[in-house]
Amino acid sequence: MTDAPNNNQRRRIRRSRPRPCEDAVATQCAEIPIALISRMAELQLQPADFILLTFLLAADSIGKTGGTVSVALKIVGQSTGLAYATIHYAKDRLVANGFIAILNIRNIARTNTYDLSPLRRKLRDLDEAGTPP
């Protein structure tokens, strides 16, 4: 008799593993730039926009992906408690205002890949301009 797990045990093991994004938010290991927090009003960020940016930055810091993150909006909603539509509208606002970009990259999970470099560029430009928060 072998000790290999059967299909039901494999499913339980897969479900019990934390996803990188969920783990990042749970342990709060994301490095949130102080400039983002202090300039929230100046950047005209709504609370849902800020939550989505925080989640994406957390996922990026866990995955060390160099500024690109592939996250399902459904997972963001489940982890943050916000409705899917709220997260979707926040994503649309962030893309329209140039904070994030959606890359046309296909992945296995069929999720969007978000580029965070526009956000970092905007924050760096504000810091270089010397405008106080």
CATH number at residue 64: 1.10.10.10
Question: What is the pTM for the complete model shown?
Answer: 0.69
Q: Would you state the pLDDT for residue 132?
A: 62
Structural domain includes residue 125: yes
7-66 pLDDT, tens digit per residue, is: 655 555 444 444 444 444 444 334 456 667 878 888 888 989 988 988 888 887 665 656
Structural domain includes residue 62: yes
Per-residue confidence band for 6, with pLDDT thresholds at 50, 70 and 90? low
User: What mean pLDDT is reported for the chain?
Assistant: 74
Number of domains present in the structure of the chain: 1
Contact call for residues 20 and 57 (beta carbons, < 8 A): no
Structural domain includes residue 109: yes
49 lies in which domain range? 18-129
